[in-house]
């Protein structure tokens, strides 16, 4: 993809090359960028998302506005509801039909616990198994050696079970059947058949995209103090990173894949960082104001250098994804599409950072699913501070 002058100006909000940064007096381009940044900071963080949500989720303008407001309330309520539920907590998710957070409580939960959860604004549903029990089942499945036909597995709080996903055409394979038998022995497990197997979303070199490591192109996730976070499969510790204009940015300071799929790159050589996610002209560039984790069922959008801006919903959390290179744990699954080169890019819900793109199946022409590595885990692992507006 070749960048025109307008695109270069927009990208400068994220990437400022050294020669310009060293200039003594601000240029007209600098004034334009400063003005754009002021306008973005004064606008509601969710306003520019409405058109994308309307297109990708099939909502009207008023429905998109109402959904964003409801999701913000649910995101705020979720940690309070979890604390109120205590040991009876069975998981939670955003119910788009009601516009409320739903919290699962085990059947032995008392009236006092139920009232405390409902006081947070959540709806309560009775279930058989607690979240702690289901997490323990998933951990036992994590210890199994999964064949290629098994694509992923996660706890589904609404179904109150661990769901194992199997690629279409592989369910009758002997190795898959043996895995499923052992998984069912671990506890409550159900099986879903999915259209495709997951793959990472790095790509070979093409011109004009955000960053390169050798002959691999990936996408920047979120700015942190001193650099940015991205996907681990995009590069190893010590590898050099160059930007969309092929000038040197920095090097990978930390990287983990498989097992995890996260990394961080230091920023120097005249480049700088800002709390912005590119909207690629589909929406306005989005300011990042925090990293509150959106619940299952909430809308989420992704920015990447190949397919730019797309939205969908959170389908599952803490899913184990079985790539050909090895399993990756604690991933979040979404209905957002992605393609090669989108790896490492930003997942954002409203103005809250969610994670960096790892991989998926399908594409943005026919649809698919994509996983991201939660950003808060990356920040904790490397002791990083998210850059916020």
Gap between the Cα atoms of 252 and 227, Å rounded: 10
Q: How many Cβ atoms sit within 10 Å of the Cβ of residue 241?
A: 26
Is the Cα dihedral 60, 62, 66, 71 positive or negative? positive
Based on the residue annotation, tell me whether 261 is a catalytic residue of this protein.
yes
Gap between the Cα atoms of 260 and 148, Å rounded: 18
Helix (H) or strand (E) holding 177: helix 174-185
C-alpha dist (Å) from residue 356 to 304, 340, 353: 10, 14, 9
- Among 152, 343, 349, 358, the active-site one is 343
- Among 129, 154, 233, 372, the active-site one is 233
Strand partners, 348: 301, 353
Based on the residue annotation, tell me whether 233 is a catalytic residue of this protein.
yes
Strand partners, 372: 332, 357
Tell me how far the alpha carbon of residue 307 is from its chain's centroid: 15
- Locate 334 and state its tokens: 């979404």
Tell me how far the alpha carbon of residue 301 is from its chain's centroid: 8
Gap between the Cα atoms of 269 and 253, Å rounded: 15
Reduced to 3 states, what is the DSSP secondary structure of residue 383? coil
Nearest one of 267, 229, 219 to 247, comparing CA atoms: 267
Active site residues: 233, 261, 343
């Amino acid at each position: 993809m070749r960048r025109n002058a307008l695109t270069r100006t927009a990208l400068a909000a994220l990437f400022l090359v050294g020669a310009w940064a060293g200039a003594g007096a601000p240029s007209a381009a600098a004034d334009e960028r400063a003005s754009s940044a002021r306008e973005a900071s004064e606008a509601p963080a969710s306003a520019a998302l409405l058109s994308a949500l309307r297109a990708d989720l099939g909502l009207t303008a008023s429905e998109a506005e109402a959904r964003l407001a409801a999701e913000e309330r649910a995101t705020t309520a979720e940690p309070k509801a979890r604390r109120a539920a205590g040991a009876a907590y069975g998981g939670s998710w955003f119910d788009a039909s009601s516009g409320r957070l739903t919290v699962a409580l085990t059947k032995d939960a008392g009236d006092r616990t139920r009232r405390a959860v409902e006081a947070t604004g959540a709806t309560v549903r009775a279930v058989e198994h607690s979240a702690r029990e289901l997490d323990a089942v998933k951990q036992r499945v994590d210890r199994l050696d999964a064949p290629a036909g098994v694509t992923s597995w996660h706890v589904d709080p609404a179904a109150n079970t661990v769901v194992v996903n199997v690629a279409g055409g592989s369910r009758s394979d002997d190795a898959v059947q043996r895995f499923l038998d052992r998984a069912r022995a671990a506890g409550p497990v159900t099986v879903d058949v999915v259209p495709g197997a997951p793959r990472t979303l790095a790509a070979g070199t093409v011109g004009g995209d955000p960053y390169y490591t050798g002959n691999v192109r990936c996408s920047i996730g979120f700015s942190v103090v001193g650099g940015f976070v991205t996907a681990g499969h995009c590069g190893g510790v010590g590898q050099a990173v160059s930007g969309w204009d092929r000038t040197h940015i920095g090097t990978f300071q930390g990287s983990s894949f498989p097992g995890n799929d996260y990394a961080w790159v230091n920023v120097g050589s005249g480049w700088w960082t800002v709390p912005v996610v590119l909207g690629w002209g589909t929406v306005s560039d989005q300011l990042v104001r925090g990293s509150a984790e959106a619940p299952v069922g909430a809308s989420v959008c992704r920015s990447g250098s190949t397919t730019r801006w797309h939205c969908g919903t959170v389908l599952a959390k803490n899913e184990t994804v079985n790539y050909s290179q090895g399993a990756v744990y604690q991933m979040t699954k979404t209905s957002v599409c992605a393609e090669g080169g989108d790896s490492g890019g930003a997942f954002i819900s409203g103005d809250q950072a969610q994670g960096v793109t790892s991989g998926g199946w399908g594409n943005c022409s026919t649809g698919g699913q994509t996983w991201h590595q939660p950003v808060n885990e990356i920040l904790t692992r490397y002791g990083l501070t998210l850059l916020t507006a």
